[in-house]
Amino acid sequence: MLKLIKRIFKRIFKFIGILIALIILAGLIFRALGPESHKPMGKLVNINSIDLHIHSTGKKNDKPTVIIEGGASSSTEYFHWLSEGLKDSLRVVRYDRAGNGYSELSDSPRSAETIAKELHELLDKSGESPPYILVGHSIGGPYIRVFSELYPDEVEALVFIDSTHPEQVERLNAAPKSSFRFKTTLFLLNTSAVFADLGVLGLFESLTDPLLAGEGLPDEINERTKDFLLNGKRTRAYKKEIESYHSVLKRANEAKEFGTLPIRVFTAIEINKEAYKESGIDPEIFINEVVSAQKEFTNLSSDGKQFLIDANHQTIFTKKENADIINREIIQLLDKL
């Protein structure tokens, strides 16, 4: 009986091994013969020996230029509706941080100051000039806080879109750096990057709708997001930013005095209540804490306002109707500048 069980398990493991080998082989063939990436919509500019992708729309004028700093792993594609809604009134600049979208991966640690300085140099080399209205989504919020502290004379307003709070770990259930959850996340990102490099993720996605699609974005924009699973670059960039996550929040918390600088805060109030309940978190208490925490951004200056939007962390800007709300407020800021 024992020999029979051993024989069965041996055949099962052999079958699994062959299946994995076939999947990897298929992925490698897809990687070699599959589709090439789309061309970037903007241009590539060399900053510190790496090419960063920057995409500008709208004519240059005497008004402030809007600079969009996306969340971790977000590429310029996701901010389509913000750009479309503003470009007739303002110059709008979107860019891909190192490793995201069409930008090359950097070997340097992703500190808040490094990212702010890279953006500043990118804008300068691209011919963009201040004053700026900085827009930060998610972890982009802490980045624009540090940028504003480093270059205060160049910034005329801050716009936070469901931005990460410096006390995200203590108050909003983000994983502590020493936790098993955080270490597991890094491990899974490493694993995902390997499968992407082997072509497995790209092959799978070729059989489905775009896995990284933004809800509400046009199909031709979402189709471009398939480029970002053709290799592991995006995932490695995400991992590098996550590794610096806690130090970035600490540094952002030091940037808290912005005088009379106009600040607008847009908070997403739609969450998956059942998922939070399954995790043992009361969703109503959680969303109230999110609203309260983000409202604190308005206290960074004497001119702050918060707006609640019935959307989730991504659809707050990928759905046109939500982006329109944000765009109207940004345009109204011009009367104060």
CA distance 119 to 135: 13
Smallest Cα–Cα separation from 202: which of 333, 65, 28, 320? 28
Task: Please give the pLDDT value at position 2.
Answer: 66
Task: Please give the pLDDT value at position 36.
Answer: 87
Smallest Cα–Cα separation from 267: which of 159, 175, 167? 159
Task: Please give the pLDDT value at position 16.
Answer: 82
Q: How many CA atoms lie within 13 A of 84 on its CB side?
A: 17
Asked if residue 82 lies in contact with residue 317, where contact means CB atoms within 8 angstroms, the answer is yes
Q: Which pTM does this prediction carry?
A: 0.93
Task: Please give the pLDDT value at position 4.
Answer: 66
Extract the tokens encoding 333: 């800021």
Residue ranges of the chain whose pLDDT lies below 70 = 1-2, 4
Extract the tokens encoding 298: 């308005």
Place of tokens 């759905």: 319
CA distance 269 to 259: 28
**Vertex 131, ends 71 and 329: CA angle to 5°?**
60
Task: Please give the pLDDT value at position 7.
Answer: 76
Neighbours of 79 (CB within 10 A): 27
For domain 43-179+230-336, which CATH number applies: 1.10.760.10, 3.30.1330.10, 1.10.1040.10, 3.40.50.1820? 3.40.50.1820
Residue 118: strand, helix, or coil = helix
CA distance 5 to 2: 5
Q: Angle at which helices 245-252 and 112-125 pack, to 10 degrees? A: 80
Task: Please give the pLDDT value at position 1.
Answer: 64
The ranges assigned to domains in the chain are 1-34, 43-179+230-336
